Structure 1
Amino acid sequence: MPVSLRSMRYFVTAIAHGNISRAAADLNVAASAVAAAIDQIEARFQLKLVNRHRARGIEPTASGKVFTQKFKHLLEEYDALLFEGTELKQSLKGDLRIGYYAPVAPAFLPEILSGLAGQDGQTTYHLEECDNDRAQAGLLAGDFDAILFVSDVARPQVEFDVLIEAPAYCLVPADHPIARQASVRLRHLAGEPLIVLNRPVAADYYRMLFDEAGHSPAALAYANSTEMVRSLVGAGHGCAVLNMLPGTDISYAGHRLAAVPITDPLPRLSLSVGYGKSNQRRLVSQFARLCRDYFRDGPGHRHVVAG
């Protein structure tokens, strides 16, 4: 049978005291438990490890001295592991690995992370942009501590908190006639060339919106980054339907853009933070809380277009 850490601790304590009764008092256990631990270890290895003297107590044999040192080393490693594990769970230091499928995450993620600052440079962030499925797979595989993703297509095993539900809006150049309107309907976009955000989840979502409305404008371009979509729109190539806003109405190319609410009763996309909710490190739990606070009480609502 295997030797337990408890038996090792009893053995080492008995050798240190040179007396089973004193070891038992130190450990706050019965003397018979200490004696049984010594017997168990000797039986397991089929070696005599302790000499018992009625008057003088106990002393290790040559083999017993070797085992005592090895047991001490194992117990020290185990105690250090427990300490480090507790420290890791409670600490705001260490590595934080975040996967994100959120096209405008650069607009808000740095600000959220600033709430974790002030740790003397002892927190390192690993940020990976990925598609929605890769984000969830990475969380479940342990590649990420937390993810930002669209939870409308969440895997059953992924735990998450919804941060915000983002309605669709129409993006046009600032000098476009639609930009002067308070709102627009999908049917009004039927004659406009469409710039499509060609990312998993997003492309299917936008296609579904137009299919349900019965109006499918011709796609002029497909781009797999939000900023390319915005730059194409800003340059006058067409309009786009998106869900979240960055913190600026200027494209990379310097063109001014306008975001116009769409009044059709359309399904929204849910931006969520995914993380393991039980037995989680304090650093991860704090990040999730900062995400919730940012969108519930902070400036997060500036990233959606209200109808």
Structure 2
Amino acid sequence: MEFRHLRYFVVLSEELHFGRAAARLHMAQPPLSQRIRDLERELGVRLLDRDRHRVRLTEAGALLLEYARPVLDSADAAREAMRRIRPGAAGVLRVGVPPDTVPVTLRTLVDAFSAREPGVLLDLNEMTTDEQLAQLREGGLDVGMVRHPTDTVGLESGPVVHRPLGVVLPVEHPAAEDATVRLRRLNGSPLVIFPRLMAPKLYDHMLTACRDNGFVPGAIRHARNPHFVHGLVLAGRGVHLNEEPSAGLPPGLVWRPVDEQSGRLTWSTSVVWPRAQTTPVVAAFAECALSGLRAAGHVPRD
């Protein structure tokens, strides 16, 4: 039994008129009559009583209609679910976000986007800036949220917003007593920073800004997991530059803003996407992501 034969039968059962049913199905009347006869022959029952004046369902036809409608509804629902879940298909937006995106940003952007585009599923993926850029150019992502400076040649970008960085210190560090830390006070201290391969341009930019402000690390240690970062700082193995923590720090650590006049030590973030993906849905996501970043304290630069 073929789905299309069931669909023909259901439409005919609703119209009880071969001409109107054929018009709804965008087919000629003779082929419709033949398909219904084929279905009756396959099932071994008469589904319709028909004469020159009217068409009526038989008892067998009424019973088949009761079963056929849920079957077709389920098939339509399955087809729609597969359409929505196909990578790159309309209905699914594949998004990259930085690994250290704070919870308030994600909550705000997801809530705002769901309200604006309730029919679109957000497929959120935790990726570094360089991983996102590679996937955007290869077609694995539709849109990303990346840190600057970085190479966005060939991509469209929303506004860049900024959040100043401070320094995470063990309470025993001499600079922990300062309300605002001058970077030269950190000179010689080891620095705990993300691995360079995560965002090479940003990595080099941060080290240059530190050097220009009188902070040359005595050693560099790489870590990406926040717990490992805090463990290294707590153990006295370095200091760490990051935005003000949203959920507090482990006992024994403090966060202090830094005095860095050039304004280069910030998380500078924007939404980027391939030019071919410039759609209303992507534009809606960019606006919602900007709302999420602002909720976490990111602001445009004057």
Please state which band the TM-score falls in when normalised by the shorter chain.
Answer: 0.5 to 0.7
Q: What is the rounded CA distance, in whole Å, between the counterparts of 1:227 and 1:189 in structure 2?
A: 22
Q: CA deviation at 1:150?
A: 1.8
Partner of 1:299: 295
Counterpart-to-counterpart distance in 2, 1:279 and 1:266: 32
Read off the aligned partner of 1:291 and give its amino acid letter: A
Q: Which residue of 2 aligns with 1:114?
A: 111
* C-alpha distance in 1 between matches for 2:234 and 2:158: 34
**Aligned residue in 2 for 1:247:** 246
- Give the equivalent residue in structure 1 for 2:255: 258
- Verify the 8 A CA contact 1:163 1:291 in the aligned structure 2: no
Q: Deviation of residue 102 (structure 1)?
A: 5.4
CA distance in 2 between counterparts of 1:181 and 1:238 reads 17
C-alpha spacing 1:101/1:294, structure 2 compared with 1 (3 Å):
closer
The letter for the 2-side match of 1:170 is: V
TM-score (norm 2): 0.58
Q: Distance in 1 between matches of 2:122 and 2:231?
A: 29
Match of 1:178 in 2: 175
Give the Cα separation in 2 of the matches to 1:258 and 1:174. 9
Query: Superposition pairs for residues 61-80 of structure 1, below 5 Å?
Result: none
Q: Which amino acid aligns with 2:248?
A: D
From 124, 128, 143, the counterpart of 2:125? 128
Give aligned-pair identity as a percent: 23
CA contact (8 A) 1:168 1:266 kept: no
| Residues 127-161 of structure 1: per-residue CA shift (max 9 Å, x gap) | 22223222112122221121011232222211111
Counterparts of 1:45-194 in structure 2, within 5 Å, are 94-101=91-98, 103-117=100-114, 123-174=120-171, 176-194=173-191
1:108 Cα deviation from its structure 2 partner: 1.7
Aligned in 2, Cα 1:259/1:126: closer, same or farther, shift over 3 Å?
farther
Q: Residue by residue, what CA displacement relative to the aligned partner does 1:59-78 show, whole Å, maximum 9, x if unpaired?
A: xxxxxxxxxxxxxxxxxxxx
Q: Write the distance in 2 (CA, Å) between the matches of 1:106 and 1:195.
A: 22
Alignment of 1:232 with 2:232, yes or no, is yes
**CA deviation digits over 1:81-137, x for unaligned, max 9?**
xxx9xx99xxxx822211123533555223311212359985433222223222112
Q: In structure 2, how many angstroms separate the alpha carbons of the residues matched to 1:149 and 1:119?
A: 23
Answer yes or no: is the 8 Å Cα contact 2:148–2:269 preserved in 1.
Answer: yes
Query: Is the counterpart of residue 287 in structure 1 residue 285 in structure 2?
Result: yes
Secondary structure, in 3 states, of the residue corresponding to 2:181?
coil
Q: Does 1:206 align with 2:206?
A: yes
Aligned to 1:159, what secondary structure does the other structure show? strand
Gaps (5+ residues) in structure 1? 1-15, 18-83
Q: How many angstroms apart in 2 are the aligned matches of 1:272 and 1:218?
A: 32
* SS of alignment partner, residue 171 of structure 1: strand
- Distance across 2 between alignment mates of 1:226 and 1:293: 24
Q: Is the 8 A contact 2:136 2:273 kept in 1?
A: yes
Structure 2: gaps (5+ residues) = 1-26, 29-79, 85-89
What's 1:216 paired with?
216
Displacement after TM superposition at 1:289 (Å): 0.7
* TM-score when normalising by structure 1: 0.57
Confirm or deny: 8 A CA contact 2:206 2:264 kept in the other structure.
no
- What is the aligned-residue RMSD (CA, Å)? 3.7
Change (3 A) 1:277 1:245: farther
In 1, the alpha carbon distance for the partners of 2:115 and 2:213 equals 50
Instruction: Give, as a single letter, the amino acid of the residue that structure 1 aligns with 2:162.
Output: E
Amino acid at match of 2:285: F
Change (3 A) 1:179 1:214: closer
Per-residue Cα deviation, 1:214-259 (whole angstroms, up to 9, x for no partner): 54121263213344323422444331123x34422224xx655313
Residues 15-26 of structure 1 correspond to what in structure 2 (within 5 A)? none
Name which of 261, 272, 275 aligns with 2:273. 275
1:275 Cα deviation after fit:
2.2
Aligned pair count? 213
Matched residue, 1:38: none
Give me the whole-angstrom Cα distance separating, in 2, the residues matched to 1:279 and 1:143: 12
Distance 1:235 1:111 in 2: 35
Instruction: Give the AA of the match of 1:248.
Output: A
